[in-house]
Structure 1
Amino acid sequence: MKKVNIIFIIAAILAFAAAAAWPVLTSKPFPIQGMRPMVEQSSDASRVLQAVLVAACGLWLLVQPLQKSQPSLRFFQGIAVALAVFGFVRLGIPFGAIFCGFFLVAMQLRVHIQRRACPPVESPCE
């Protein structure tokens, strides 16, 4: 997996974990502007559930033995799309955007697996 994907996943997990814990820790505004509505307007259960979903899906992407097959990555992509749509419609842009990013990471992993499984075909002109 590319380093930028690993950084993205870890940053997403940390941001949502911080947002879930923020109201318990302090009454100051959340430092990430786009996530302030989540922190200020969501219930405690909603914030914790969002953080758990982001952490679970992010950790699944980070554990390489789980992504060795095309079907498992396709299944994950379906979950990511469903959560992205649900996030954009009901929860907020940050949640939807994170799952769009998770979908793209899974797509890159699928392409990488497919390239390893199918060696390049030599051109008959060579």
Structure 2
Amino acid sequence: MLAAPGEESWGPLSILCQFLCEPRLAVDVPAEMFTPPPKVDSAFVVLPLREEPAVEVKNRDMFFKVANAAFALRRKTMVNNLCASFRMNREEALRVVAEAGLDEKVRGEKLTLEEIAKLADAISNS
């Protein structure tokens, strides 16, 4: 929920939370606080809703479709993910990525909320 672009845990859940909320860490809870102790530590995260989404998009459904497509095939380029998720041919995907102002080699896990919004708007316009 708190992950940033490029971090291993950045994904659709992080994007959804940060798009609609202003997540913040409330408290870390070490594993030894539980019986039996799990193998990982825990945390409480507070998710106050935003009055307006973090970024402006023309089509909210398309924004979330693009966010999910970005992680459908991890470690693939966004062009490949668009081809697979939206049944675009490579030329269409390259055009949409360029229209959004992104590098054709960008990977989904590196995209910021703003870049996902630009990509979603570019797809909506086509």
TM-score interval for Structure 1 and Structure 2 normalised by the shorter chain = 0.3 to 0.5
Superposition TM-score, scaled by structure 2 size: 0.33
> By percentage of residues, which structure has more helix?
1
> By percentage of residues, which structure has more strand?
2
Superposition TM-score, scaled by structure 1 size: 0.33
